[in-house]
Chains A and B, each alone.
Chain A
Amino acid sequence: MGGLAGNRRLMPSRTTLHAWLMLTPALVLLIGFTHYPAVATLWHSFFSTPRANRPARFIGAENYLALAEDPVFWQALWNNLIYAGATIPLSIGLSLAMAMWVNGKLRGRTALRIAYFTPTVLPMIAVANLWLFFYTPDYGLLDQVTRALFGWGPTNWIGQRETALGAMIVIAVWKEAGFFMIFYLAALQAIPPNLYEAASIEGASRARVFFRVTLPLLGPTTLFIAVNAVINGFRLVDHIIVMTRGGPDNATALLLTMIYDLGFRFWDTATAAALTVVLLLILALTAALQFIFAAKRVHYR
């Protein structure tokens, strides 16, 4: 009798054990590379940076207060909002336009698709060096073109406050749009042609077809792309590190470049941890907003 009861208790626990075993590889990776670093970062952000003769000590929110007092932080935050606010809609809009264009029947379609996709496969460092030449004053490509077309003088595109951040945004959009285009292209080809046939029988205008048929059916893809674009809006900074190091006078400083400066140039790891927590909060908040919005608006078939 007792044996039977024990056996019954054993059965579910063995299933559970199996389940845990199956989950282990993913769990180890998630804990090791996602959850532990996040918790450790939060923990370290409440301590001072350890130095040669001064070990770390608990200082509460002092690192956060130091950030709030630092004008560079506010500038980086503001820059980052502009950067994300510009790259997200621009790259999504551009990628959709490109996808529509290469989805149609036209000559050299494959070549065009490859051309649009090329920036995506280039490493960001190579892209940055390429654009360094484009932006070089006097003999750079952009200055040569503007001189020939409008007779402009040399412009220090990435060396002056007015144009530096815009120049960085252009590169990010150029880099991202081709990648997003691939997703839109796949989604466009999955839309059943009979919907378009029905629309043409009804005599709907092209704009109406786009807004009533194409765009709603691209909803899930747009959500996916938007999430990626938001992440990239805070993550894609390699070209800034290569080209301007956040300069001139922090005009292109973003949260991530500031974390790099704090953590790996000043070795102020505690303040860097605090800033990382701030960045995590911003990202978590935007992700939450996106999914709340998406639950209402995006239709899955």
Chain B
Amino acid sequence: MTQITRRAAFLAGASLLATPALVRAQAVRELTFYYPIAVGGPIPRIIDGYCEAFQRETGIKVTPVYAGSYGETLTKAVTAIRGGAGPHFSVLLAAELHNLRDMDILAPFEDIEGAGNLNAWTDGFFPAFMANSKAGGKTWSVPFQRSTAVYYYNKDMFRAAGLDPEAPPRSWAQLIEAGRKLTQDGKWGVKMSNSAGNGQWTFGAMANQVGHKLMNDAGTETYFNDPRAIEAANFWRGLAFDSRITPQGTTDWGVLAPDFLNQTTAMIWSTTGNLTNMRTNARFNFGVAGLPGKEGPRTVVGGGNFYVFKNATPAEQAAALRFARYMAQPELAADWCMKTGYLATRPDAWETESLRRYTAEFPAALVAKEQIPVATGELSTYESQRIYKALNDNLQALLSGSKTAERAMADTQAEADRALRPFRRT
């Protein structure tokens, strides 16, 4: 009796193992993904809704885990994967590509079963958003919650200060001039963040505003010593120490939106992903504009991509890719754009009826898209977290007055050189 039962069990187990991968792919019932939140508003509810819709269509339950800021999500995902129990896929900063490849935890999309014709799909994204996705002849991520840096300004405060609310600053000189009029007792003209995890984004935009790029495409070199990088740093320092239209010291990312909504700051440099949050919560007239440059508007792209991890089984990887494809459908991308303000990552989404109607009625939603041609890529290197910290530490020293722009940039470059030295030998 026992003999037969045991043999039956063995056979059942063996046949299960021998089942072709294709059949097992259908057997995937659950996926977990980590998800960072960088803006206000009911983002978790929106994501939950998409996951439920995906489950209705495919029968696969996707459990999103909201894991904090971009930096915290990266830490949690990598820790969990090294502990052998990580998520199957995750949204992480697009700029972490080199860093993540160096950790050897990603599954390139070409190696995923049933990937099919990837190029036909990936060519449909804005090229600016695919800039951090391909390396070594493979695709490592696809864009999802992507943004450009823009600024929000309070039209009521503009009017009260005698400024034209329909002609927001387009150049550094105009920004300083407007800021001087807007700054008064207890109210700041402009705020941008130099806190841990955020300063490098702001500074990437400023470097682009003088036509400078901070790193090479391979992610092995940085150019903080360049006179134009120093010029950008000096501009920022001047806002706090010369024209005094922004606070000295560290400005946290988290206070920007509340300060703007409380009308204690007239302009904030933020992400387009905050647009719907502003639209819902602002009790005053506000506008959105492209960041001013030295001469004309210049900005930086930002935000997160879908990455699939190689510790997931082939079937789980296939299911994760399916979810990424699902989220990139034009109708869904358009819906995401309208509900949050993040950019629909594909031109075809902007052609949908719903998004056309939305932008016609709320033109501010188009501002971020118009910035794509003047946007540079986010600072992306190997050892990115180390270099972000070096840069942000020095930006904090710069803004608290303990270092000059030259010193801050030289120190950042020295630390970056130290961190990147091992990657230049190969």
Q: Is the CB of B248 within 8 A of A249?
A: no
Q: Which of B247, B262, B389 contacts A261 (CB 8 A)?
A: B389
A158 to B255, CA, bound (A): 13
Residues in B with CB closer than 8 Å to A159 are: 247, 249-252, 400
* A120 at interface, CB cutoff 8 A: no
Residues in B with CB closer than 8 Å to A206 are: none
Q: Is the CB of A160 within 8 A of B400?
A: yes
Residues in B with CB closer than 8 Å to A54 are: 422
Residues in A with CB closer than 8 Å to B255 are: 136
Residue of A whose beta carbon sits closest to that of B265: A138
Residue of A whose beta carbon sits closest to that of B395: A249
B152-206 interface with A by 8 A CB criterion: 186, 195-197
Residues in A with CB closer than 8 Å to B386 are: 265-266, 268
Q: Which of A53, A138, A265 contacts B75 (CB 8 A)?
A: A265
* B102 at interface, CB cutoff 8 A: yes
* A154 at interface, CB cutoff 8 A: yes
Known: A159-B249, A159-B252. Contact between A139 and B75, CB under 8 A?
Answer: no
* A8 at interface, CB cutoff 8 A: no
A53 to B426, CA, bound (A): 11
A266 to B385, CA, bound (A): 6
Q: Is the CB of A161 within 8 A of B75?
A: no
Q: Is the CB of A138 within 8 A of B264?
A: yes
Residues in B with CB closer than 8 Å to A59 are: none
Q: Which range holds the interface residue count of chain A?
A: 20 to 34
Q: Which of A72, A137, A245 contacts B247 (CB 8 A)?
A: A137
Q: Is the CB of A247 within 8 A of B195?
A: yes
B36-78 interface with A by 8 A CB criterion: 71, 74-75, 78
Residues in A with CB closer than 8 Å to B249 are: 156, 159-161, 248
Q: Is the CB of B250 within 8 A of A250?
A: no
Residues in B with CB closer than 8 Å to A139 are: 262, 264
Q: Which of A247, A248, A266 contacts B383 (CB 8 A)?
A: A266
**Within the complex, what minimum Cβ distance (angstroms) separates A72 from chain B?**
8
Residues of B in contact, count (CB < 8 Å): 35
Residues in B with CB closer than 8 Å to A248 are: 249-250, 396-397, 399-400
**Within the complex, what minimum Cβ distance (angstroms) separates A190 from chain B?**
46
**Within the complex, what minimum Cβ distance (angstroms) separates A158 from chain B?**
8
* A264 at interface, CB cutoff 8 A: yes
Q: Is the CB of B402 within 8 A of A52?
A: no
The number of A-B residue pairs with CB atoms under 8 Å apart is 79
Q: Is the CB of B75 within 8 A of A264?
A: yes
Q: Is the CB of A154 within 8 A of B397?
A: no
**Within the complex, what minimum Cβ distance (angstroms) separates A136 from chain B?**
7
Q: Which of B104, B248, B389, B393 contacts A160 (CB 8 A)?
A: B248
Residues in B with CB closer than 8 Å to A266 are: 383, 385-386, 389
**Within the complex, what minimum Cβ distance (angstroms) separates A239 from chain B?**
15
Q: Is the CB of B396 within 8 A of A249?
A: yes
Residue of B whose beta carbon sits closest to that of A268: B386
A51 to B255, CA, bound (A): 37
A245 to B255, CA, bound (A): 15
**Within the complex, what minimum Cβ distance (angstroms) separates B379 from chain A?**
16
A240 to B389, CA, bound (A): 16
Residues in A with CB closer than 8 Å to B250 are: 156, 158-160, 244, 247-248
B241-287 interface with A by 8 A CB criterion: 247-252, 255, 262, 264
- Between B74, B394, B397, B422, the greatest number of chain A beta carbons within 10 A of the residue's beta carbon is seen for B397
**Within the complex, what minimum Cβ distance (angstroms) separates A263 from chain B?**
10
* A267 at interface, CB cutoff 8 A: yes
**Within the complex, what minimum Cβ distance (angstroms) separates B93 from chain A?**
13
Residues in A with CB closer than 8 Å to B195 are: 245, 247
A244 to B252, CA, bound (A): 9
* B392 at interface, CB cutoff 8 A: yes
A237-274 interface with B by 8 A CB criterion: 244-250, 261, 264-268
A53 to B402, CA, bound (A): 40
Q: Is the CB of A265 within 8 A of B385?
A: yes
Residues in A with CB closer than 8 Å to B399 are: 248
Q: Is the CB of A247 within 8 A of B396?
A: yes
Residues in B with CB closer than 8 Å to A264 are: 75, 78-79
* B103 at interface, CB cutoff 8 A: yes
**Within the complex, what minimum Cβ distance (angstroms) separates B188 from chain A?**
9
Q: Which B residues lie at the A interface, using CB under 8 A? A: 71, 74-75, 78-79, 101-104, 186, 195-197, 247-252, 255, 262, 264, 383, 385-386, 389, 392-394, 396-397, 399-400, 402, 422
* Sampled A-B contacts (21; CB under 8 Å): A51-B103, A54-B422, A159-B247, A159-B249, A159-B251, A159-B252, A160-B250, A161-B397, A246-B196, A247-B195, A247-B250, A247-B392, A247-B396, A248-B396, A249-B400, A264-B79, A265-B71, A265-B389, A266-B386, A266-B389, A268-B386
Q: Which A residues lie at the B interface, using CB under 8 A? A: 51-54, 72, 136-139, 154, 156, 158-161, 244-250, 261, 264-268
